[in-house]
């Protein structure tokens, strides 16, 4: 290893010199200990070598000359990333040793909590921007937003600089990692228990469910990790929440199957989601191609909604203030390598879901 780079919650960048040349690497100190300048590190470069993402990072597997100290003994017996060399033991929010066990032992109802479900991690800041803008427009304080990270993408929540930035700026009250994902402020076994923790433990006004960064897809209808968004809608509905579907939209993707509403959203919400949800689309005037795109999105989304489908179509007018709110997010907006200026409707589609989700909240100020 040559030198240390930037750090954020749970993660540390490294500059590493290898026989093949320099590499950017990422270490999770909770798993491998805190790297020291000049020491050797063992790297996993399999995805990086194939150009398959991981943010351009090689990943630190171990520090061969410095075995990390044994973790302190403490409560918790949930194993995540199970039966892999870097499996980690965490305290589940609802297990018997948790201080929240009594609260969650019989919890079974979200009480109408609005939950926005999206199939890409990049939707998260846009959803929250829309929700915060809408509550401010109503004269209220910002909503208490809790993020549920599912395990379809990255497993460590530490990988997401978006989550770290949103938490640091107060846009997120908490991150709850579910399934095999780990490293959140709270750990849950399932999306169901994570949703209940968001409501009962965190006092959420709004929950957002997406997979972590680094989705997996094969270009087929069913071979996409974001299909689980439909299962999240079912979980919200079963528990008495109010599911809101944030559509994956693009006006700039070079792949025809992702133009307008992505075929992945059509599958997740049209075929997998069996509980009714509010499917939100942007409305109102827009310039040129963006106006035509909104018309296409509405037409595609209508196929998911009554009377053809089981969901409810909701149109939200796009105020210029909403676009300004997106431009002012505290973290970088990026989806499939495109930012707000390159693909604005991708982020507007997520933002209007956030606007609609908080429409029923009181205008009274809220803490957090």
Could you give all domains of the chain from N- to C-terminal order, each with its CATH number? 3-62 (no CATH), 104-357 (3.40.50)
Q: What are 231-271's pLDDT values in tens digits?
A: 999 999 999 999 999 999 998 888 878 888 999 999 999 99
pTM of the model: 0.94
Say how far apart CA 48 and CA 54 lie, in whole Å.
7
Query: How large a percentage of the chain has pLDDT more than 90?
Result: 80
pLDDT band per the 50, 70, 90 thresholds, residue 30 = very high
Query: CB of 284 within 8 A of CB of 250?
Result: no
Using omega within 30 degrees of 0 as the cis cutoff, is the peptide bond preceding 307 cis?
yes
> pLDDT tens across 292-317, in order?
999 999 999 999 999 999 999 999 99
Please give the average per-residue pLDDT across 165-185, as a whole number.
Answer: 98
* 353 and 244 Cβ atoms separated by less than 8 Å: yes
Whole-angstrom distance, CA of residue 233 vs CA of residue 269? 8
For 171, the 3-state DSSP assignment is coil
Q: In sequence order, which residues have a C-beta less than 8 Å from that of residue 341 and are 6 or more positions away?
A: none
Report the DSSP beta bridge partners of residue 211: 150
| Residue 203: partners with Cβ closer than 8 Å, 6 or more residues away | 144, 173
Give the model confidence (pLDDT) of 83-102 as tens digits.
999 999 999 999 999 999 99
Instruction: Report the candidate in 122, 143, 199 with the shortest Cα–Cα distance to residue 356.
Output: 143
Alpha helices in the chain (DSSP H): 29-32, 46-49, 101-104, 123-137, 161-168, 191-200, 228-238, 263-267, 288-302, 320-327, 344-357
- Tell me which residue of 99, 95, 93, 185 sits closest to 147, measured CA to CA: 185
């Amino acid at each position: 290893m040559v030198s240390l780079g930037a750090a954020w919650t749970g993660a540390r960048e490294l500059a590493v010199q290898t026989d093949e040349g320099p590499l950017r690497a990422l270490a999770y100190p909770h798993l491998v200990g805190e790297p020291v300048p000049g020491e050797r590190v063992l790297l996993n470069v399999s995805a990086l070598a194939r150009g398959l993402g991981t943010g351009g990072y090689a990943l630190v597997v171990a520090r061969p000359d410095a075995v990390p100290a044994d973790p302190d003994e403490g409560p918790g017996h949930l194993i995540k990333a199970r039966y892999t060399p870097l499996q980690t033991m965490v305290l589940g929010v609802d297990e018997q040793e948790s201080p929240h066990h009594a609260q969650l032992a019989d919890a079974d109802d979200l009480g109408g909590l609005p939950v926005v479900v999206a199939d890409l991690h990049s939707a998260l800041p846009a959803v929250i921007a829309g929700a915060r803008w809408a509550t401010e427009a109503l004269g209220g304080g910002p909503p208490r937003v809790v993020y549920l990270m599912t395990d379809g993408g990255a497993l460590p929540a530490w990988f997401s600089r978006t989550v770290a930035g949103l938490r640091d700026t107060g846009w997120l009250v908490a991150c709850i990692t579910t399934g095999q994902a780990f490293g959140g402020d709270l750990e849950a076994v399932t999306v169901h228990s994570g949703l209940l923790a968001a409501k009962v433990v965190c006092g959420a006004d709004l929950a957002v469910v997406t997979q972590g960064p680094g989705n997996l897809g094969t270009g087929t209808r069913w071979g996409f990790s974001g299909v689980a968004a439909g299962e999240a809608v079912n979980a919200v509905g079963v528990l008495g929440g109010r599911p809101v579907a944030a559509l994956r939209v693009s006006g700039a993707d070079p792949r025809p199957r992702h133009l307008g509403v992505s075929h992945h959203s059509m599958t997740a919400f049209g075929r997998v989601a069996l509980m009714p949800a509010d499917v939100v689309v942007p409305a109102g005037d827009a310039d040129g191609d963006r106006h035509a795109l909104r018309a296409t999105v509405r037409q595609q989304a209508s196929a998911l909604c009554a009377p053809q489908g089981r969901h409810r179509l909701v149109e939200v007018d796009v105020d210029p203030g909403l676009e300004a709110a997106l431009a002012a997010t505290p973290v970088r907006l990026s989806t499939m390598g495109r930012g707000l200026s390159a693909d604005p409707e991708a982020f507007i589609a997520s933002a209007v879901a956030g606007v609609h989700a908080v429409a029923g909240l009181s205008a009274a100020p809220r803490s957090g």
